[in-house]
């Protein structure tokens, strides 16, 4: 079982990791392009993805679609402003 940890979009929020699915400008209307970027960012041998969500829903949707298509378990990490910590949400198991 191989797990990778990513941030969703580089530069949107401070998160405790340095690898991102999307870097640079993201075109939220290019859903096919977002899917391809996400698909190429996630290595072939991965069985679990943990992703720090940074607020761009359409980009997160692309990651969900890739993981669903490839049978990859997906856990989202969301920021809690009250505690200044991240909490987990299982998206695909």
Quick: pLDDT tens for 21-80: 998 888 999 999 999 999 999 999 999 999 999 778 999 999 999 999 999 999 999 989
15 vs 86, which has greater pLDDT? Answer: 86
pTM for this model (two decimals): 0.92
Give the domain extent around 67: 3-92
Radius of gyration of the chain (CA): 12
Element (H or E) spanning 22, and its range? strand 20-22
| Number of domains comprising the chain | 1
Q: Average pLDDT for residues 9-19, to the nearest whole number?
A: 81
Instruction: Determine how many CB atoms are found less than 10 A away from the CB of residue 29.
Output: 8
């Amino acid at each position: 079982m191989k797990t990778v940890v990513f941030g969703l979009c580089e530069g949107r929020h401070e998160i405790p990791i340095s690898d991102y699915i999307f870097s640079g400008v993201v075109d939220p209307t290019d859903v096919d392009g977002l899917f391809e970027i996400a698909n190429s960012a996630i290595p072939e041998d991965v069985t679990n993805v943990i992703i720090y969500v940074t607020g761009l829903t359409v980009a997160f949707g692309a990651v969900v679609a890739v993981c669903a298509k490839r049978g990859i378990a997906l856990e989202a990490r969301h920021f809690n402003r009250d505690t200044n910590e991240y909490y987990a949400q299982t998206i695909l198991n």
